[in-house]
Amino acid sequence: MRNSFFTIILLFALSINAQERVIIELNKGWKFEKGKNENAFENNFNDSKWESVTVPHDWAIYGPFDKEIDKQVTAIVQNGEKSATEKTGRTGALPYIGEAWYRNQFSVPNLDKSKKVILLFEGAMSEPKVFLNGKKVGEWNYGYNYFYFDITNLINENGKNNLAVHLSNLESSSRWYPGAGLYRKVKVIVKNKESIDQWGTFITTPIVTAELAKVNIKTTVTGENLQIKTVIKDASGKEVAINETALIFGKEFEQNIAVRNPHLWSPESPYLYTAVTQIYVGNMLKDVSNTRFGIREIKYEANKGFSLNGKVRKFKGVCLHHDLGPIGTAINKAALRRQLTILKDMGCDAIRSSHNMPSLEQLELCDEMGFMFLAESFDEWAKPKVENGYHRFFDTDVEKDLVNLIHATRNHPCIVMWSSGNEVPDQWGAEGVKRAKRLQDIFHREDPTRPVTVGMDQVKATMESGFGALLDIPGLNYRLPLYEEAFKKFPQGFILGSETASTVSSRGIYKFPVVKGPNKQYPDFQCSSYDLEYCSWSNVPDDDFVLQDDKPWVIGEFVWTGFDYLGEPTPYDEKWPSRSSYFGINDLAGLPKDRFYLYRSRWKTNDKTLHILPHWNWEGREGETTPVFVYTNYNSAELFVNGKSMGIQKKNNTTPQNRYRLMWMDVKYEPGTLKVVALDNQGKPVAEKEIHTAEKPYEIKLEADRNTLEANGEDIAFVTVSVVDKKGNPCPTATNQLQFAVSGNGTFRAACNGDATSLEQFHLPTMKLFSGKLVALVQSTATSGKIELTVTGKGLKKGKINLKSN
């Protein structure tokens, strides 16, 4: 009896062990050294003096900023430049160039001959070469791609395994700050040899009605005599459908499963199901994989446009580069969530990953929070934009790079279209047409359910060559005067604003006189936040609004950009110091610029928006003309200066600006109170807002985006730091130098003030206010408890805020 009991327990343990899929995240225990070291992958190499780091890691974000880093002498053809000039800060002026090594040791418990071991990299910048236990595993060229290796035959079954990764970043390899290092996650996946292949599950919803959805699941597997069972669970974990089969076609199972009365995924209701897929040999469970998905229907129709779940809508989207401001490119879910929360409040419903493959975390959050996604792949094809760009690998790597992108991300309901490229020089000529077709065919082969676009800037050329006509979705980057002609010549019956606006502004900075115009420059290397300045190839937001509102065949826009990013400091890319962009609706710290409220007033009409600009601290401008703009979803408002009416303004169609903004152009500045009263369609007051001339800075104020963190050593609170006068009025011109100290179970991670000309290093615990504000980042430790941030500045009453982690 005792022996039988032992046998049952043993068999149960064997069964559990047989089905177990273990994922080991290699985030701790890394050693890092920048520079060449040909022996770094050897088992006995001494790395005791190397820097200890955690992964994800960006080695370059710590600076310092230096104008000599990657100084490029070039003509930016896509910007219409004819002759080469010196560009400083184009890639952020941060030290990303060079070679580096990462080393780690890991062990795999209970490993035996029945197991398969996969080594997965979600991104490595760049050209990684991977070694395990002294032997080369493989390499991958594209720094934005996800890739994996089967290391079953190289791994030690007992004891430690020595992993080494060599990275190399060349100069002139990017047009923006690319980051450096193992900036996304590294994982070891241990599973049975009879199992689901890596990224081997493909879920689509080919039929969707209110009463019934058909869920099609294709599962690629390895092994003999397999059966599959899939259980679909709703968001609460309740089983809603189940299917089992032993019928396999080659290496692929295909299941069609009915889900009754489905909850449909949309930005307004981002409902997610989970497919739990189980693989058996006989009665022995061999593998289990959980895949989140959404049930939704997308259509693109001529003269009708884009529809989601049967409802026509337009994309209210923004473009995002992959850096996260002061923490660089090292992926962090809290930072991504904050970005998306800010965009959601603006009314944004779509994201374009520009100009590269998105992180898996970003897609997960867009699924959860409700953002449609344009997943982009490349900024270069075979013809170069920069000397050491992707064109070096296009012929040999482009197919495998696209296959990995598609297979790794195709189950995300947020993705509603793919992009195979952005402003590629290949838009010219027959060879470019062939390349566009080749890439689009790969997308169609690997995912027949989503269309493909390209961000085109050479629109005339694509009209003549047939390039634009072959695309599923013709995407126009700017080129507003060509929209009508493109619509007539392209056969698709609709146009996407794949990149729009490129308006430039600096948060809280205003220039006089207030005149709309391109390529404006000032001695302080800032741009005016009256939102009337743009680039030679671009425009202001209102010009795009007209097309979005008046042309049913324009299916939406993706604004350049949602947030400022490191590098590409147009219009000051020939000036120093200037090391980050001015395009953002929000600045590099994630603080909204005035433009945020212009977009919000149009994109989120179900909520009140009432925003006044400029600030009202203009010592020395008394009596001078200081125009006042109001961004609001109301059609009219009355403005008052110190109680005196400046008149009522109503939106009208005389100019695009008059259509979307309320503007009082002749206001004379006098200190005091600026007040706006919004009026309904009957002329009755419905909302009001006022701002005041502040006295000198007196006290530091702190406000966190959230007060409770997860005690995982990764979570971050973003604390907005500002100063107010004795009456509590914000001081919009304050530039005080502040210091930061964190105590308790947290650490100071970084600070950022949004000033594109600042050369202060983000990770040091001191920074100067810019336009009266900055943001400090507090990171949790692995221990729960209290956290306190204290901010001090000379002559100011200090600020404190209490956080906690658990």
Residue 122 is part of a domain; what is its CATH number? Answer: 2.60.120.260
Give per-residue burial for 495-521: e unless 16+ CB within 10 Å, then b: bbbbbbbbbbbbbbbbbeebebeeebe
CATH of the domain at 342: 3.20.20.80
Cα–Cα distance between 416 and 371 in angstroms, integer?
10
Q: Is residue 45 part of a domain?
A: yes
Q: Same structural domain for residues 164 and 31?
A: yes
* Pair (106, 182) in one structural domain: yes
Residue 520 is assigned to a structural domain of this protein? no
DSSP state, residue 562: S
Residues 727, 651: Cα–Cα separation, whole Å: 35
CA 355/CA 258 separation, integer angstroms: 37
Please give the model's pTM, rounded to 2 decimal places: 0.96
Q: Is 687 within the bounds of a domain? A: yes
How much helix, strand and coil, in percent to the nearest 5, is found in the chain?
15, 40, 45
Tell me the two tokens of residue 338.
């904050």
Which is it for the CA torsion 393, 352, 444, 118, positive or negative?
positive
- Among 692, 710, 731, give the residue marking a domain's end: 692
Last residue in a domain, options 583, 618, 643? 583
Looking at 423, 533, 638, 670, which residue is catalytic?
423
30 in the same domain as 162: yes
Instruction: Say whether 423 is catalytic.
Output: yes
Examine the domain organization and report whether 552 and 434 are in the same domain. yes
Q: Are residues 642 and 553 in the same domain?
A: no
Closest CA to 761 of 317, 392, 341, 327: 327
In a domain, 390, yes or no: yes
- Of 506, 499, 520, 540, the closest CA to residue 663 belongs to 540
447 and 568 fall within a common domain:
yes
Residue 753: Cβ-neighbour burial (10 angstroms; 0-12, 13-18, 19+): buried
Counting as low any pLDDT under 50, the low residues of the chain are 1-17
Whether 772 maps to a domain, the answer reads yes
CB contact set of 8 (below 8 Å; sequence gap of 6+): none
Q: Is residue 591 within 8 Å of 773, Cβ to Cβ?
A: yes
Domain around 747: 699-805
Cα separation, 356 vs 380, whole angstroms = 10
DSSP code string of 321-375: -S--GGGTTS--HHHHHHHHHHHHHHT--EEEE-SSPPPHHHHHHHHHHT-EEEE
7 inside domain:
no
Q: At residue 452, what is the residue type?
A: V
Q: Is 82 contained in some domain?
A: no
Whether 224 is catalytic:
no
**CA-to-CA separations, 571 to 528, 529, 586, in angstroms, rounded:** 12, 14, 17
**The one catalytic residue among 127, 499, 557, 670:** 499
Are 100 and 116 part of one and the same domain? yes
Residue 31 backbone dihedrals phi, psi, to 5 degrees: -115, 140
Q: What is the pLDDT of residue 690?
A: 97
Task: Specify whether 421 is located in the same domain as 479.
Answer: yes
C-alpha gyration radius of the chain: 28
CA distances (Å), 681 to each of 632, 659, 676, in order?
Answer: 14, 15, 16
DSSP assignment of 755-805 equals -TT----TTSSEEE-BTTEEEEEEEE-SS-EEEEEEEEETTSB-EEEEEEE
Asked whether residue 531 is assigned to any structural domain, the reply reads: no
pLDDT digits (tens, 9 = 90+) for 642-690: 999 999 999 999 999 999 999 999 999 999 999 999 999 999 999 999 9
Asked if residue 199 and residue 187 are part of one domain, the reply reads: no
Q: Are residues 661 and 709 in the same domain?
A: no
- The predicted structure's pLDDT at residue 520: 97
User: How many independent structural domains does the chain possess?
Assistant: 5
- Of 230, 261, 293, which marks where a domain is finished? 293
Do 352 and 382 have their domain in common?
yes
CATH code of the domain covering residue 249: 2.60.40.10
Residues 722 and 770 in one domain: yes
